[in-house]
Amino acid sequence: MMVDSLVKGVARFHRSYFRKNRSKFAELVRDGQNPDTLFITCADSRIIPHALTQSEPGDLFVMRNVGNMVPSHRPGQECSSTGAGIEYAVSVLGVSEIVVCGHSHCGACAAVYQTNHPDELAQHIQASGA
């Protein structure tokens, strides 16, 4: 996608969606975010969380990563960015639900099940329980 398309998309967002929902955005600025749900999904460009769930701004705290994978955490181990995001959503934002959204034909998930992994990736896969 060319930068020009992105700029035009932002302009369309401001002209239409933002104008129609100005009061909701003002409320979110004033009161902060208070989502009920942490939505973890794949970074795949075909996934559009808010369109999929028909949620509004402020409803979801969305985390995207390759393959929507959540690595296991072991005591004494550094927290992954996914783990840090989950901790923030639960402890700071107070979300009451966590949804992990998968999708068909995920290349990242397919790669996990291949047998020819570089040693470093194979160790991570085993450690995460995938």
Active site residues: 42, 44, 46, 103, 106
Q: What are phi and psi of 106, to 5 degrees?
A: -75, 120
What is the number of alpha carbons within 13 Å of residue 109 lying toward its C-beta?
A: 14
As a whole number of angstroms, the distance between CA 2 and CA 7 comes to 9
Using alpha carbons only, give the angle 21, 22, 23 rounded to the nearest 5 degrees: 95
